[in-house]
Amino acid sequence: MSTSTLDGLNALLSQLGADPIPKISGLAAHPLSRPIDIYRVYLADIVARLIGCEAPLVYESLQSPTSTANGDLVLPVPRLRLKDGKKPADQCSNLEAAFPESHPLFRKPKATGIHLPLYFSPLSLSRLVLPYIFQRQQAYGSNLDTGLRNDPTAPATTDRKKVIIEFSSPNIAKEFHAGHLRSTIIGAFVSNLYQSMDWDVVKINYLGDWGKQFGLLAVGWQRFGSEDELARQPLKHLLDVYARINAAFKPEQEASKRARDEGRDTAEIESQGLFAERNAFFRRMEDGDAEALALWSRFRDISIDRYVATYARLNIGFDEYSGESQVKTETIKRVEALLQENGVYTEHNGSWAIDFEKHGSKGLGLAVVRGRTGTTTYLLRDVAAVLDREAKYAFDKMIYVVSTEQDLYFRRVFRTLELIGRADLASRLQHVNFGKVVSLSSRLGTVQLLSDILDQSRDALHEVMRRNTVKYAQVADPDAVAEAVGISAVMVQDMSGKRINNYPFDISRMTSFEGDTGPYLQYCHARLNSILRKAGLTRDDLVDHLSQHPDGLDADVLSKQHCVDLLRLMAQYPDVTATALRNLEPSTVLTYLFRLTHQLSSCYDVLQVVGAEGGRDVMLARAALYEGARQVLENGMRLLGLSPVESKQPPFEALCKAHEKDSMDSIIYLDMWPFADPMMVVCSPVLAVQTCQEHDLPKPPILHAFFNPLVGFDNLFTMNGPEWKRSRALFNSGFSAGYILQQTPHVVDEAEVYVDVLREHARKGDMFSLDDVTCWYTMDIIGAVTLDSRLQSQRQHNPLATAMRRQIRWHVLDNEWNLFIRWNPARPFVQWYNNRQMDAYIASELDKRYAEWKEDESTASSRSIIHLALAGHMATQTTHPRPPRLDAAFKRWATVQIRLFLFAGHDSTSSTICYCFHLLQSHPAALAKLLAEHTAVFGADPSLTPSLLRSNPHLLNNLPYTTAVIKESLRLFPPASAMRGGREGVALTDARGNAYPTAGTNIWVLHSAVQRNAKYWPEPDAFLPERWLVGPEDPLYPPKGGWRPFEHGPRNCLGQTLAMLDVKVTLAMVVRELDVRSVYDEWDRVHGTRGKVKTVNGERAYQTQVGGAHPADGFPCRVRFRGEGEVKG
């Protein structure tokens, strides 16, 4: 029975003998999200009836004890404020006596003084808690109601509340200190927590990228900077430059401080030396000096690139990399005007300041807002940033995760907003503070970067693992395990105590598997994860058993207190997350998880699964108990930002990952009997070159089953031999680089429609499938190139485009092996109808072109696919006059080829466009570089781009970084792979000289594996467009034969030049105007994704087969106009 509806929950409770959940007016309970709330509601109703008080007061008075030994809930009777003249202890005893002797959900309570401890019925726990967890899975612990906006006057227009969380916030080219580490860990937790409660969360990394310290760095670069060192170790070199110039600056700073302490004017000291050089450079930045801003932008990009890669190790992503530099100048001026209007601005020693003491704010002192040199201060920019964010995001709440050292500063920020008349806005801001990390630098030496902290923790953990040689040898990927567990060690140590407390950084303790540490938590999850595997059970087995045997645990809960206590703790988890949402303390969740693991440790010997007495039913019931506990532990770990280490790898994922090992320079053999011939899977560039270039092996018959229903028999893709050579030669001229460049105006025509469609979605603010919209767009492009006419399928129904798109949906499905889908009786009829529609449309176009040809053979100058096909046919016709109708056999052949070009020409290009947007969205530094390149080539006004491309298509050749982005997108997300057939006498030879005969096999050149093969590609999973811009001497330089999205050799993709042109034009016309962002979280929520949301290698936009490889679920997205505060070119 379902616990996700009140009806289902009441039906389950009725099996226990309980009445339906009482309906109590004015009670804000959540029985569908928090199982303990079921008990609270019943208790509120029982107690209210017994003593005549208000049920909501009873509900609010119930407390959760710190230990289950003191009850599951406790009622402090004095909180009920009973007016019967009796002492609270007597009132409590009377309530105990009046409580029902027998109730399906409760044991009879026993008063202890003024408290009434209440214990849940063991049978009710076993019947309620496990269904609750199994039916919610990763959603267990979430309360989606908390994210709903109930106030119709709230600032935003959607139904979900919006919270901005600003955290981490390192300074450009400065040391990533312990405060940034704590802010990163705690901020990620707060973000995860609000997301789990269905808030619309915007995560901002507000970089310290502006101010006089950058002027000092610029001066240091002029003195100590080295281009060679910057290329070798970019961020470390900038840190070294800053350290050296800071050391040189220190004597001047000390002289200024002495003068200030002695009451002397510091103006003369600060008007010369490094003070003057620093201030002058920063003044140039604020005045918009191009050279100064270029250097600033370069260093900012270097820092962001490094930060993005490091945050990825922590599974942290940001929606926006903003900074002090992004605050609008006009907003700063508006804040100053408001300060003047409200009489708050005060001139002080040549500066402008706020004297908070004069405005009733004791303890806030005086704060400078604009310095004597005219430069702005943090306070002024941060207040302006609040106003900018309000205008941009219309947030309900904004949280700053910053150390206690900034308590005074944030009190000043909030008070300043009140003084300028924005108390309403100040009330929506919260400073979540935290204490210090003690002895970080002394423990880790000269650590300067977050990546250094993580590396040393990982290495220390690796050493711990190596001490147990037997277990170490059993770990499939010790490096990956050491990385995940090492990061858990750092994060758990940080979150173990209250935020406000300082703690010592102790690398030896935190990497121990003993005690309450991150490694111990990972060990506990791995142990739970192994139980099903050792028992030979699956999760489906447990779900089936729970539905058929809801009483499966009854015997254990009635006889074994360990089982009861574990269920009691598991029931508490949603209450724990609700408490954490109120106090924003990660330790609340972490403390609970350690309590859970301690209880589990006491259960393993008492509640055995394998070899359980009582047979399979008992084994299944106990396995379900442990799987429920594992799910709770996983949910809590993910909420804290920890990635649970899995104990096994699915077979298909293992296949895709196999190329990462050195041995996978060889061949993977797959026995496909009885469905197909044996398969040889190629994962290395060396073997791919042999397959497709040196031996040029033929296309195998297995491809006919895929292509024939889509395009027809005897198509160019599946042909072999002389027939393929003749056909390929016929169409080659239609895809020459020069001719394709001439088609730019046609592509721009369709791109303008595409941009208009995206603008409409931006104005509506709706969620839509980017893949679907983009497929219609690329269909229109290839339609123009193939048929020399506009299909206009983006705006209206086109029979050809519609039939092709529908044929793809019916033909290729991820669940093709599902027999109900495979043998759907409607499928042949739908495919027949689609074929008929496509063939009729193309036949009509052929007839029109033939009629034109007969009238004027000069039309042969066109090189569209339809004209090239006609030209080739007419060259073989010598009869005059021309026949009245085209030859039927030729029409069938031409129709098949045109369908092939329409399918291949739109399908893979649309996917690539989607992934370019996706990768640029998640890599702000790359986006900034691309935007800068477009501005440099096309000018500052994006609206002029279409006319520039029409008049001068060669501008597309001036986009090296854009080309690199496209190539890197195609490397990470190739739209297809290559399939070839083996040949007698041909063998593939690996790097060790082993020969693999190919006769009787199909050979699958797996592009996703070849292009991420760690032996040949440094950082194979990282998005690094720079690898396409370096020379052969650089380690990043692509390996020979390693990049194959269009394949190599005689049978490479004929349309690759057109595909690259399409994507370049699209990016040039879209990205500077529109911001395309995936919204998978929202899509999963709306579509009720059950259980664990699927990802592949952590990627939610993983590739699925829909024709070619496309983003999962159609790439749900929202589009907005690129506004101020975004990274700009």
For tokens 């594996």, name the residue.
1009
Q: Is 177 a catalytic residue?
A: yes
Which stretch of DSSP H or E encloses residue 51? helix 35-51
Of the residues 30, 115, 162, 177, only one is catalytic, namely: 177
Distance, in Å, from the CA atom of 698 to the CA atom of 708, rounded to the nearest integer, reads 17
How would you classify the pairing of strands 1108-1111 and 1103-1106? Answer: antiparallel
Of 389, 380, 337, 343, the closest CA to residue 156 belongs to 389
CA atoms of 511 and 764, how far apart (whole Å): 51
Rounded to whole angstroms, what are the CA distances from 245 to 220, 302, 479, 1051?
5, 19, 38, 58
Rounded to a whole number, what is the largest CA-CA distance in the chain?
119
Q: Active site residue: 30, 161, 162, 174, which one?
A: 174
* Contact between residue 189 and residue 434 where contact means Cβ atoms under 8 Å apart: no
Q: Which of 967, 997, 1008, 994 is nearest to 1102 (CA)?
A: 1008
Using DSSP, state whether 200 is helix, strand or coil.
Answer: strand
| Residue 1109 backbone phi and psi in degrees, to 5 | -90, 120
The separation between CA 557 and the C-alpha centre of its own chain, rounded to angstroms, equals 41
> What are the percentages of helix, strand and coil residues in the chain, rounded to 5?
60, 10, 35
Q: Please tell me which residue in 180, 431, 657, 867 is annotated as part of the active site.
A: 180
Q: Which helix (H) or strand (E) holds 425?
A: helix 423-426
Retrieve residue 212's tokens: 């006089």
| Tokens found for residue 646 | 């899995």
Q: Which structure tokens are listed for 978?
A: 């290559």
Check whether the bond before 674 is cis (ω within 30° of 0). Answer: yes
Q: Which of 289, 283, 285, 284 is closest to 372 using CA atoms?
A: 283
Q: How far apart are CA 485 and CA 125, in angstroms?
A: 33
Contact 918, 1078 (CB under 8 A): yes
- Helix (H) / strand (E) containing 1116: strand 1116-1121
Residue 942 burial by CB count (10 A; 0-12/13-18/19+): exposed, middle or buried? buried
Cα separation, 281 vs 26, in Å, equals: 62
Instruction: Assess contact for 75 and 53: CB atoms under 8 A.
Output: no
| Annotated catalytic residue 923 | no
The count of C-alpha atoms lying within 13 angstroms of the C-alpha of 306, restricted to the half-sphere facing its C-beta, is 25
Distance from the first to the final alpha carbon of the chain: 56
How does DSSP assign 72-94, residue by residue?
Answer: SEEEEGGGG---SS--HHHHHHH
Q: Which of 953, 958, 998, 961 is nearest to 980 (CA)?
A: 998
Q: Which two tokens stand for residue 1040?
A: 């020979």
Q: How far is CA 709 from CA 13, 806, 810, 947, 1107, in A?
A: 53, 12, 10, 40, 11
User: Residues, the chain, total?
Assistant: 1129
| Residue 526 CB contacts under 8 Å (≥ 6 apart), including other chains | 644, 645, 647
C-alpha closest to that of 45 among 27, 31, 63: 27
What is the rounded distance in angstroms from the CA atom of residue 763 to the CA atom of residue 1121?
Answer: 8
Q: Which residue do the tokens 């000043």 mark?
A: 412
The Cα–Cα gap between 1105 and 597 comes to 41
3-state class (DSSP) for residue 405: helix
**Angle value at C-alpha 368, between 363 and 370, nearest 5 degrees:** 160
- In the residue annotation, 180 being an active-site residue is answered as yes
The whole-angstrom separation of Cα 434 and Cα 187 is 11
Positions marked active-site: 174, 177, 180
